[in-house]
Amino acid sequence: MNTTRRTFLGLGATAAVAATLAACSSQQGGSGSGTSGGISLWTHNGGNEEELAVVEKAVAAFNEANPDTPVELKSFPQASYNDSIAAAAVAGDLPDILDLDGPIMPNWAYSGYLAPLQISSELEESIIDSAKGYWNDTLYSVGPYDTSLCFLGRKSAFEAAGVPIPTVDEPWTREEFDDALAKLSELPDYSYAIDFSVADSAEWWPYAYAPMLQSFGGDLIDRETFETAEGFLNGDAAVQWGEWFRSCFTKGYASETPATDGQDFLQGKVPLYYAGGWKVLQSQETFGEDEVLILPPVDFGQGAHVGGGSWQWGVSATSSNQEAANAFIEFLMQDEYLVEYSNAIGNFPSVASATPKTEYYAEGGALEPVYEIGTKYALLRPATPGYKVISSIFDKAARDIVSGADVKATLDQAVKDIDADIASNNGYQSK
Amino acid sequence: MPASTTIEPTRDVGKQRSRSSAARKEARTAWLMASPALLLLLLFMGIPILLTFALSFTNARLISPNPPEFIGLNNFIRAFSADPTFIRSLTNTAFFALVVVPCQSGLALALAILVNQKVKGVTAFRTMIFMPVVTSMVVVSILWSFFYEKDGLFNSILNTLTGGGWTAVAWLNNPGTAMPAIILLSIWQAVGLHMIIWLSGLQGIDPALYEAAALDGVNGWQRFRYVTWPGLHSTMVFILVTITIAALGLFVQVDVMTSGGPQDATSTLVYHAVRKGYREQDMGYGSAISLIFFIAVLAISLIQRRLTREDD
């Protein structure tokens, strides 16, 4: 009696554990990819209604034309999107189509999440460089749009301070820029000369400040081999960049604690603002189109640069219907949708033929200079699987420099950390 | 695995013939009732801790095509010899706990004694002091980072008080002031919770003791020293242990307000583990840091238990 009851109890407990585990695994294994002919698509823009609407429209049109392979869309909030992808990859349950932030692509391709894209070479050639994701000479992702960094200036302030306005073809030199900051900081109506957006979050730092570092002649990593940062992130040019950047704060040109989201500029506290194309429309609404200057990046000696690369589309390596997934991406990259993307969120289309049809980038459009700057000066972040580590380490180093840490020592430690990571990953060699 | 651990004790019970069958039945029911909680504890605490232990000796990556390799004590050697941020995080965490534990528990006790008086409007006071506790730490941190800005609330107040003689400080951007700023915020946020716990301890003390003390003609200090404080012993132990563990786990404020900066001045063990293990995808190293953290907390808790037990 006792024995049987004990056995029964044991069995019961085992069953309970088994049920729990089964519940866990069935949750992971649920909504499998491409089992019923349909293809699943995940996107990060759950919180961005305008952008999501464009994707939804394209999905509806695609499904009507291809009833055999309907696309099923699932949107995530951007903050938790990458985690969802990582979790799905571990569980072997990636969707057929997914979107990804440009710089993370090599990491995912290296990890075997992504399949090489198989879109027509005609389409591939028509897309601008900064919207294409290559790793190991293979195309893994393409984006419908890109945007550019730029400086936004108040025309009246420039005139009052007697600062000449640079053009896209003739950007500021370092001396001219320092001179402009010095003059603008003396204007009585403003508290600082510039808002460098240092209040912005992690990925902004390498996106925004590494192009300046590159313009000085440094870089995040050796882009030839991707094996070391030695001499690039801590060379003389990089130290000069660090010292110059720090001096903008010690000289009182910029605040170390600006308000978030460009409010200092929009509220008229600073006449110059380092931001991206996505801030132009809001600024023009606030001050009027004529008052807002869209200015190119500064040439600190080795050419002017801005960051490139935005969200792009890729096909997962585990997709059972890669042909249909690629077909959808080709479908989405038609001019029609690129124009809608642009009109909805203000970024420029990644295919030149779509550009004149857009609201903001057609001739005389409000954002035309953003397009010129983006296509002329964009430099992608290093295409290496180790970028996530580089990004985190550069973010920390640059923040330390802004708060007054010794530039050379900080950059030396950053190089040590990056090189240690590359070494512990055997150089991120592909399989 | 979990099945056998939950069943084992019943087997032992079966061997002890002297026990009554009622007691055996009771024990069995107890294990049965506790089993869902034990199972969850094992799933979400036991297994992760074991995994952390195992991973900390490997070079496991969060996202990588390469399988983890055993690398011995390398992660621990790296932490103590090649990672200045780790050392700084260790000292920051210790400093934070050393300041916060006595300040917060002392302040909470003072407030509890204050709001334990029988005067009108005391409920309003209790509510006001308790309010920050129910507000999310993320919200509190964002709000306070506005206060700490160069033209924020604190600088304006100091400027007004000194008649314009105060030079504004960017509290969170200055390596000297960032940690004290976070300490102040943390104490303010959590002091209400511990005040309520002290209060419950205070109200559990038998009023007859105070009456007897009054008859003996004690003064205020003697009443606190010989009646109130001994009556609060178990509350004190509880508060000390919870504040210490909470203080050592400092993370949210740092993540929201300073990202560990400036110059590592506010980096803590948990923040550093998250940054290395998760943001930089180095799970092996992150696990090693977590393991060091786990051992440190365990050791401190054991020492505290030993010390507070001697008081008995």
Q: Are A272 and A297 in contact (CB under 8 A)?
A: no
Residue A2 pLDDT exceeds 80: no
Bridge partner list, A307: A379
The alpha-carbon gap from B126 to the nearest alpha carbon of chain A, in Å, equals: 34
- Rg (C-alpha) for chain B, rounded Å, is 25
Phi, psi for A276 (deg, rounded to 5): -125, 175
**A375-414: b or e for each residue (b if 16 or more CB lie within 10 Å)?**
bebbbbbbbbbbbbbbbbbbbbbbbbbbbbbebeebbbbb
Q: Give which of A2, A108, A403, A406 to mutate to test B binding, by max B Cβ within 10 Å.
A: A403
Return the number of other C-beta atoms located less than 10 Å from residue B44's C-beta: 10
Can you say how many angstroms the Cα of residue A339 is from the centroid of all Cα atoms in its chain?
20
Q: Of B59, B63, B259, which is closest to A399 when you measure between CB atoms?
A: B259
Nearest to A104 by CA among A398, A331, A389, A414: A389
Q: One-letter amino acid identity for B82?
A: A
> How much is the pLDDT for A50?
86
Gap between the terminal Cα atoms of chain B: 40
Say what the pLDDT of residue A203 is.
81
β-strand partners of B250: none
Task: Please give the distance of CA A186 from its chain centroid, rounded to a whole number.
Answer: 35
Query: Choosing among B4, B57, B138, B263, which should be mutated to test the A contact, i.e. which has the most A CBs within 10 A?
Result: B263
Which tokens in the block code for residue B195? Answer: 């005040």
CB distance A256–B150 less than 8 Å? yes
pLDDT at A355 over 80: yes
Residues of B in contact with A428 (CB under 8 A): none
Q: What is the pLDDT of residue B5?
A: 43
**Contact call for A20 and B10, based on CB within 8 A:** no
For A324, the token pair is: 């249909």
Across the interface, whether the CB atoms of B150 and A393 are under 8 A apart is answered no
Nearest to A97 by CA among A35, A41, A56, A31: A41
Q: Measuring CA to CA, how many Å separate A164 from each of A160, A228, A272, B140?
A: 11, 40, 13, 44
CB contacts < 8 A, A to B, total 99
Contact A332, A168 (CB under 8 A): no
Cβ atoms within 10 A of the Cβ of B289, count? 29
The per-residue pLDDT string of chain B (312 residues; one tens digit each, 9 = 90 and over) reads 344 444 444 455 445 555 688 888 999 999 999 999 999 999 999 999 999 999 999 988 887 788 888 888 989 998 998 888 999 999 999 999 999 999 999 999 999 988 888 778 888 888 888 888 888 999 999 999 889 888 888 888 998 898 888 888 888 888 889 999 999 999 999 999 999 999 999 998 988 998 999 898 888 888 888 888 888 988 999 999 999 999 999 999 999 888 887 888 999 999 999 988 888 888 899 999 999 999 999 999 899 888 887 554
Contact A324, A331 (CB under 8 A): no
Contacts of A402 in chain B (CB under 8 A): 173, 262
How distant is the Cα of A80 from the closest Cα of chain B, in angstroms?
A: 13
B172: chain A residues, CB-CB within 8 Å: 257
Among chain B residues, the shortest Cα distance to A258 is held by: B149
Closest-CA distance, B309 to chain A, in angstroms, reads: 38
β-bridge partners, A98: A42, A314
Q: Are B262 and B173 in contact (CB under 8 A)?
A: yes
| Contact at CB, B14 and A6, closer than 8 angstroms | yes
CA pair distance A134, B256, nearest whole angstrom: 34
Q: Taking all residues of chain A, what is their mean pLDDT, rounded to a whole number?
A: 86
pLDDT single digits (tens) A265-291: 999 999 999 998 888 988 999 999 899
Give SS3 for A101.
strand
Q: Are A147 and A347 in contact (CB under 8 A)?
A: yes
Residues of chain A in Cβ contact (below 8 Å) with chain B: 2, 6, 9-10, 13-14, 16-17, 20, 86, 89, 107-108, 110-112, 191, 202, 255-257, 259, 388-389, 392-393, 395-396, 399-400, 402-405, 413, 416, 420-421, 424-426, 431
Dist CA A249 CA A399 (whole Å): 12
Minimum-distance CB partner of B39 among A2, A17, A399 = A17
Q: CA nearest B12 in A: which residue?
A: A6
Report the alpha-carbon angle B179-B174-A420, nearest 5: 80
Supply the pLDDT for residue B17: 56
Q: How far apart are CA B285 and CA A423, in angstroms?
A: 14
Query: Taking a C-beta distance cutoff of 8 angstroms, is the pair A264, A258 a contact?
Result: yes
From chain A, pick out residues whose CB is under 8 angstroms from the CB of B11: 6
The structure tokens listed for A284 are 């023009």
Residues of B in contact with A397 (CB under 8 A): none
pLDDT of residue B310: 55
Residue B304: half-sphere exposure toward Cβ, Cα within 13 Å: 18
Asked if A109 and A94 touch (Cβ cutoff 8 Å), the reply is no
CB contact under 8 A, B43 and A20: yes
Tokens (6 digits) for A50:
């305008």
Quick one: pLDDT at residue B67?
83
**Which residues in chain A are contacts of B181 at CB distance < 8 A?**
none
Please give the Cα distance from B54 to B68 (Å, whole number). Answer: 11
The model scores a pTM over 0.90: no
Closest CA to A282 of A188, A367, A375: A367
Query: Mean of the pLDDT values across residues A412-419?
Result: 93
Percent of all residues in chain A with a pLDDT value above 70, rounded to a whole number: 91
Q: Do A399 and B84 touch (CB under 8 A)?
A: no
Q: How far is B286 from chain A (nearest CA, A)?
A: 13
Read off the pLDDT of residues A154-190 as tens digits, 9 standing for 90 and up: 999 999 999 999 999 999 999 999 999 999 999 999 9
| Mean per-residue pLDDT, A377-395 | 89
A210 pLDDT band, cuts 50/70/90, is very high
Q: What is the pLDDT of residues A101-118, one digit of tens each?
A: 888 899 899 988 899 999
Identify the CA nearest to B241 among candidates B77, B132, B105.
B105
d(CA A222, CA A209): 17
Going through A302-424 in order, the beta strands assigned E by DSSP cover: 306-308, 311-316, 348-349, 378-380
d(CA B196, CA B128): 12
Strands A145-146 and A348-349: antiparallel
> Taking CB atoms and an 8 Å cutoff, what residues of chain B touch A13?
2-3, 6-7, 35
Selection from A193, A189, A183 nearest residue A252 by Cα: A193
Query: Is A399 in contact with B62 (Cβ distance < 8 A)?
Result: no
Contact call for residues A221 and A233 (beta carbons, < 8 A) = yes
Task: Please report residues of A whose CB lies closer than 8 A to that of B264.
Answer: 400
Which member of B35, B63, B279 has the closest CB to residue A13? Answer: B35
Angstrom distance (rounded) from CA A319 to CA A94: 8
Q: What pLDDT, on the 0 to 100 scale, is given for residue A430? A: 63
Beta strands (DSSP E) in A23-96 are 39-43, 71-75
The type of residue at A174 is: R
How does strand A306-308 pair with strand A272-276? unpaired
CA distance B240 to chain A (A): 34
How far is the alpha carbon of A47 from chain B, nearest alpha carbon, in Å?
20
Nearest CA in chain A to B147: A257
Single-letter amino acid, residue A75? S
Q: Where do we find the tokens 């870089």?
A: A219
pLDDT in tens, A13-60: 444 444 444 444 433 333 444 345 689 999 998 878 888 999 999 999
* pLDDT at residue B141, as a whole number: 92
Q: With 70 as the cut, is the pLDDT of residue A399 above it?
A: yes
Nearest by CB: A389 against B7, B151, B281: B281
* pLDDT at res. B64: 79
Nearest CB neighbour to B281, from listed A9, A388, A405 = A388
Instruction: Give the pair of three-digit tokens for residue A233.
Output: 């992130």
Which residues in chain A have their CB less than 8 angstroms from residue B150's CB? 255-257
Phi, psi of A73 (to 5 degrees): -95, 140
Residues of B in contact with A399 (CB under 8 A): 259, 261-262
Nearest CA in chain A to B266: A400
B4 or A234, greater pLDDT: A234
Is residue A128 within 8 Å of A352, Cβ to Cβ? yes
Interface of B with A (CB under 8 A): 1-4, 6-7, 10-11, 14, 28, 32, 35, 39, 43, 59, 61-66, 78, 82, 84, 149-152, 170, 172-175, 259-264, 275, 279-282
Are B115 and B126 spatial neighbours (Cβ–Cβ below 8 Å)?
yes
Burial B19-43 (b: 16+ CB within 10 A, else e): eeeeeeeeebeebeeebeeebeebe
Q: Which of A81-95, A361-375, A416-430, B85-99 ranks highest by mean pLDDT?
A: B85-99
Nearest CA in chain A to B282: A421
Residue carrying the six token digits 């941190």: B141
Position B172 scores a pLDDT of 87
Give Cα A181 to chain centroid, integer Å: 28
- Whether the link from the prior residue into B262 is cis, omega within 30° of 0, is yes
CB A194 within 8 A of CB A248: yes
Give the residue carrying structure tokens 């696990």: B287
